[in-house]
Amino acid sequence: MVIEFLSHAKRTARWYDVHVERPDSLADYVDSLQERGRYTFSRDEALAALGSTPIALKRAAERLKAKRRLAAPRRGFYTIVPLEYRQSGALPASSFIDQLMRFHDVPYYVGLLSAAEIHGAAHQRPQEFQVVASKQLRPVVVGRNRIHFFLKKDLDDSAVQLVKNASGQMRVSTPETTALDLVRFQDRVGGLNHVSTVLAELAEKINPAKLVLAAERVAEVAPVQRLGFLLDLVGRETVAAKLAKWVDQRDPKSVLLAPGSPDLATSRNSRWRVAVNEKVEPDEL
């Protein structure tokens, strides 16, 4: 958000196109933002609004952080902590993820187990907030929140949707993209047993036709083959029917179900051309 300067003599600033008196302190600035329903701001914005020095701002921010009025997920980026979140030390990650990624200027979407939970497949609440990004970023730990980033260079080819949250909206992978990503990152989201359990629930939100469209955006057919096999495994053959035809038309080579495990296949699935080299046992729902 660009802050426009008004007359320096009047010591005024403009936020959200509303003319207000320049705040006397960082605490006043924070209160004024929260009154307007805004819960994040950058270091540069605060400096411009307060007419302060970097050192003075840093000291003021440290005092508010000690009082749990502010949190700093990243250097130079702050989140306001409302009273109801003081105990946890920060807003939920979903409330500021869009603003944080805009601060980084990195394309993203909420994905994997976090997206599955948003779509209603919450067999177990994820212990971290999972975000897929076009650039590798360090994890964020703030309050009780832990945000983990997954690198996906072909992110622009992924179907996403906008989901409303407490501070506006965030980008979330569609159920179809989520399913493919879960298979793609299987070893980093709990393994095949957990992935198959989540897919059993997520399948209720998957549109078979949209699943084919999502598959067409994937550079390799292998993740699609593995997904189809797992959908069949959890009894969602109907959801995977159109996908099976799509795979058959491409006549792909056989692939390992678990690419990171030894090629000790106990069986081979002809429908999906998958070599089953790992036993998969989804949890009972």
Radius of gyration (Cα) for the chain, nearest Å? 23
Is residue 78 predicted with pLDDT exceeding 60?
Answer: yes
Give dist(CA 1, CA 45) in Å, integer: 8
Phi, psi (rounded to 5 degrees) for 109: -155, 150
Higher local confidence (pLDDT), 11 or 204: 204
Is residue 1 predicted with pLDDT exceeding 70?
Answer: no
The token pair at 51 is 């007419």
pLDDT, average across residues 250-257: 95
The whole-number pLDDT of residue 18 equals 43
pLDDT, average across residues 126-145: 95
pLDDT tens readout for residues 48-67: 999 999 999 999 999 999 99
Degrees to nearest 5, angle at CA 248 with 243 and 249: 100
Domain ranges within the chain, ordered by starting residue: 4-85, 93-276
Give dist(CA 70, CA 68) in Å, integer: 5
Mean pLDDT of the chain: 90
Question: Secondary structure of 138-150 in the HEC alphabet?
Answer: CCEEECCEEEEEE
Nearest to 174 by CA among 134, 212, 127: 212
The whole-number pLDDT of residue 285 equals 58
Is residue 5 predicted with pLDDT exceeding 70?
Answer: no
Neighbours of 28 (CB within 10 A): 14
Give dist(CA 277, CA 275) in Å, integer: 6
Phi, psi (rounded to 5 degrees) for 261: -105, 160
pLDDT, average across residues 210-229: 96
Out of 154-168, 190-204, 216-230, 234-248, pick the least confident.
154-168
Q: Which CATH number fits domain 4-85: 1.10.10, 1.20.120, 1.10.8, 3.90.550?
A: 1.10.10
Is residue 241 predicted with pLDDT exceeding 60?
Answer: yes
Question: Cβ contacts of residue 29 below 8 Å, gap of 6+?
Answer: 23, 41, 46, 49, 50
Is residue 4 predicted with pLDDT exceeding 90?
Answer: no
pLDDT, average across residues 143-158: 94
Out of 55-59, 166-170, 232-236, pick the least confident.
166-170
pLDDT tens readout for residues 38-50: 999 999 999 999 9
The whole-number pLDDT of residue 167 equals 79
pLDDT, average across residues 137-148: 95
Sheet strands side by side (includes 4-5): 4-5, 12-15, 18-21
Nearest to 142 by CA among 78, 75, 41, 73: 73
The whole-number pLDDT of residue 10 equals 33
Share of the chain above pLDDT 90, in %: 82
The whole-number pLDDT of residue 20 equals 54
The whole-number pLDDT of residue 11 equals 32
pLDDT, average across residues 184-191: 95
Neighbours of 220 (CB within 10 A): 10
pLDDT grade for 210, boundaries at 50, 70 and 90 = very high
Instruction: Give the torsion sign (CA, 100, 180, 174, 123).
Output: negative
What is the full DSSP assignment across 232-275?
HHTT-HHHHHHHHHHHHHH-PPPEESSTTS-S--SEEETTTTEE
The token pair at 166 is 């407490």
The type of residue at 229 is: F
CB burial of 239-274 (b: ≥16 within 10 Å; e: otherwise) equals: bbebbbebbeeeebeebbbbeeeeeebeeebeebbb
Nearest to 274 by CA among 259, 243, 187, 210: 259
Nearest to 134 by CA among 149, 117, 120: 149
Is residue 137 predicted with pLDDT exceeding 90?
Answer: yes
pLDDT, average across residues 85-99: 94
pLDDT, average across residues 76-104: 95
Higher local confidence (pLDDT), 232 or 4: 232
